[in-house]
Structure 1
Amino acid sequence: MTEQHAVTRTLTTREVVKPTPAELMEDTGTGLDFGTRPDRMPGHLTPADRFFVRNHAPTPRLDAATWTLMIEGDGVRAPVSYTYDDLWRRFPMVSVVRTLECAGNRRALFAEETGARFDGTQWGRGAVGTAEWTGVRLRDLLEPAGITSRACEVMPEGLDAARARRPLPLAKALADDTLLAVAMNGEVLPLDHGFPARVVVSGWLGAASIKWVGRIEVSEQPLRVPWNTRDYVLFGPGHPAEGTPITGVPVSALVELPWPARLRRGPQIVRGRAFAGERAVAAVDYRVDDDPWRPAVLTTPGTAGVWARWQFHWNPRPGDHVIRVRAIDDQGRAQPDSSAWNALGYCQNAVLAHPVMVG
């Protein structure tokens, strides 16, 4: 068992700031991690009060007046530091809408699929959310430090007790939509979501979007830390012995119904979301019981790094049913019938058989 998983499994007290009522959030039992109820996603953006929380340690209470960000390492010519006020006053602000998803999302369903027991947070379907993030492009903060010609990785580090950190390739760190965010959905970042500042990495697993950032290391050598060697790594068939660090997340679909669901009789609309990481969602199909697959209607465009919304009309007969939904990305990759097995239960994206009782 990894160190981070050990912390997650033994913590019994609640260590986040915002309320997490059962009518909005799913409690994973760790005291640190809370998912969004899929039937409580009201719009394209996930409100901050119900955006999923994934912590490796209790939410820190940081003071913006004394907070500083240090950029250093052998990949810069001269270290620089910024205050919170610097972020707001010295650099252009940009806003992007991006979806974040934990690589362990649906781990509990992966266990049901395979009959295995995976360590780590036992997520249902709720470790995914979309927000408008506002902040400074990471490249604008790095530029004054003078990136060397041999720099290859950039690693943000959090100020939580776990010092969560995960390196990015230089090209990803310098991308237009990689931000150091200071606001979420038009409001100052909430404590649980990274105040004073967090990284937002488009299309990658949520663990790359480090919260409570206080230091960024720019390195001329590949960096190895627990978050890319022991956790957030695929171990198993088809992967080298040291594992394959997870970057982008695979295409998947989410039905906005409880599990299992109980519906009234009569015509209704079934809705959901689909996400394909760095790729765009091109289509979503649905199937009820043994009926043929049919196309759902995309009600928002599936762009890279952002989920798409979909829906279909259904007039069900009373009784027990199963709804299956599969998303397809812009490279033609569709959700498989079974997930690729890995030892830590990451990246579950098989088509789910969603149980529904009508009447």
Structure 2
Amino acid sequence: MSDKNLFDQEDYLKARADEYIWQKRTDANISRQRFLQILGTMVGGIAIGGLAKPAAAYSQTNPTLKTKGSKILKPLPPGYISHSQGTLEMNWETMYGRGYLVPNDWFYVHNRHTPPPFNPSTWRLQIEGTGVSTPCQFTYDEIMAMPSISVTSAIECAANGRRFFEEAYNRPLSGTRWRLGAIGVAEWTGVPLSALLERAGLKSTAKDVLVEGADLDSLDAKGTKPSKFSSVVPIAKALADNSLIVYAMNGEPLPPDHGQPCRAIFPGWAGNANVKWIERIEVSETPIYTQWVLKQMVLTGSDYPAVSPYEGKLITYQNVKSAFELAWPATLAAGHHLLRGRSWSGKGKIVRVEVSLDGGKTWQLARLREPNLPFAWVRWDIDWNPVAGEYSLQARATDNLGNTQSNTVPWNDFGLLYGGVVTHPVTVQG
């Protein structure tokens, strides 16, 4: 499968689903229709974990103190935004005047548990599975000694913008109520995953790659044993030039909260694919299905019919979004302002950003600033001379593949991939 075809989630989902159905019904010696009936009964009866938790209240806390029981190890920056003991949302106001990259201390965090301890002398990365001929393991020193490259890329939670689903539809959602700060762009340094798979004797018949970390995800189907968090990518994505196993972030050793000793980076794909604290990679000659992929990394709802074995539309690449570098809500003085913001797309680079200063009635082009890297973001700005009053600012971006932010977004039950135009409230004081 080529990288170009990976952009078509419908083709990717259908191909994997068809192969799964063919394989399983052949093994069971039953008809395709009967197999789908059985599968629907089984998948529908399994409880959803992880996202099905009560929504945590928004809070802004003392920057000099750690919240009791915090799952985040790094120092919390001034004015940080937290939704739970394991979340840190980037404050867009603090990005005004900063450079292209997000500093490590401001990079968003979503930790299910406290980062696991790391011992460089005992840590190992295991590569195994039917898709490799010589299963092997690597020490930390061995990975550090291999030829490395650096990639500037965003990591963005699939739930970034979830709060706007609630506001648009006036319906509550489970999970972290991110605005648009569950994203960051950093320079990641590491070893191409393709080089590691080559060392393990990658077979031409390999189809899927599962990356597993030390983080515990949720209870297994019987509810008795926590499982390791993992994600799955097709072999074509695993072999892409910019798919890395990284050990450094913005020129520093990977911080514990961001995956020390190593994490996966798959530019453009939703944040869950970029597994932290990795310990094992499984390469398979057949499609790999996990409960996370089947049930939670999907868009479900009336606009997203299920395609067995998935419960909805599979999430791979991120969509287009824009954010102003302003407080929420913002208060400004009357007079001249240089409004700034950033726009991004998981499928390429941004080619146009339009800004409205009157709630979408009129639009004007923003100035795009270099660098403008694919799978990262572009900074933009526009001059504004407001008088006292209440304003609704909007920004919409278009990427090089023609994907543009829409005014409305279909509802999905987990509040994932909000890609609509966001209205940013601003009060201008005279």
Q: In structure 1, what is the Cα distance between the partners aligned to 2:122 and 2:53?
A: 29
Shift of 1:161: 2.5
Change (3 A) 1:103 1:226: same
Q: In structure 1, what is the Cα distance between the partners aligned to 2:268 and 2:378?
A: 13
Which residue is equivalent to 1:167?
232
Q: Is 1:277 aligned to residue 381 of structure 2?
A: no
Q: Are 1:95 and 1:133, in contact at CA under 8 Å, matched by a contact in 2?
A: yes
Aligned partner letter, 1:155: L
Q: Are 1:8 and 1:32, in contact at CA under 8 Å, matched by a contact in 2?
A: no
Which residue is equivalent to 1:288?
357
Shift of 1:332: 2.0
Which residue is equivalent to 1:347?
417
Alignment TM-score, normalising by the size of structure 2: 0.80
Which of 185, 188, 207 does residue 152 from structure 1 map onto? 207
Which of 210, 232, 243 does residue 312 from structure 2 map onto? 243
Which residue is equivalent to 2:37?
none
Q: Is 1:326 aligned to residue 396 of structure 2?
A: yes
Aligned partner letter, 2:51: H
Which residue is equivalent to 1:210?
275
SS at match of 2:356: strand
Aligned partner letter, 1:333: N
Per-residue Cα deviation, 1:68-101 (whole angstroms, up to 9, x for no partner):
0000011111211000000111x21100100111
Q: In structure 2, what is the Cα distance between the partners aligned to 1:66 and 1:14?
A: 27
Change (3 A) 1:6 1:292: closer
Q: Is 1:338 aligned to residue 384 of structure 2?
A: no
Deviates most, 221-230 or 348-357: 221-230
Which residue is equivalent to 1:87?
143
SS at match of 2:105: helix
Deviates most, 257-266 or 299-308: 299-308
Instruction: Please list every run of 5 or more consecutive structure 1 residues that lacks an aligned counterpart in the other structure.
Output: none
Q: Are 2:209 and 2:232, in contact at CA under 8 Å, matched by a contact in 1?
A: yes
Aligned partner letter, 1:211: K
- Aligned-residue Cα RMSD (Å) equals 1.7
Report 1:82-161 matches (<5 A).
82-89=138-145, 91-161=146-216
Q: In structure 1, what is the Cα distance between the partners aligned to 2:393 and 2:82?
A: 25
Q: In structure 1, what is the Cα distance between the partners aligned to 2:288 and 2:176?
A: 25
Q: Are 2:353 and 2:396, in contact at CA under 8 Å, matched by a contact in 1?
A: yes
SS at match of 1:214: strand
Which of 35, 44, 51 does residue 5 from structure 1 map onto? 51
Q: Are 1:7 and 1:56, in contact at CA under 8 Å, matched by a contact in 2?
A: no
Q: Are 1:8 and 1:56, in contact at CA under 8 Å, matched by a contact in 2?
A: no
Name the structure where helix makes up a greater proportion of residues.
Answer: 2
Q: Give % identity.
A: 39
Q: In structure 1, what is the Cα distance between the partners aligned to 2:422 and 2:274?
A: 27
Q: Are 1:72 and 1:216, in contact at CA under 8 Å, matched by a contact in 2?
A: yes
Q: Are 1:159 and 1:214, in contact at CA under 8 Å, matched by a contact in 2?
A: yes
Alignment TM-score, normalising by the size of structure 1: 0.95
Q: Are 1:154 and 1:173, in contact at CA under 8 Å, matched by a contact in 2?
A: yes
Runs of 4+ deviating beyond 4 Å: 6-12
Which residue is equivalent to 1:317?
387
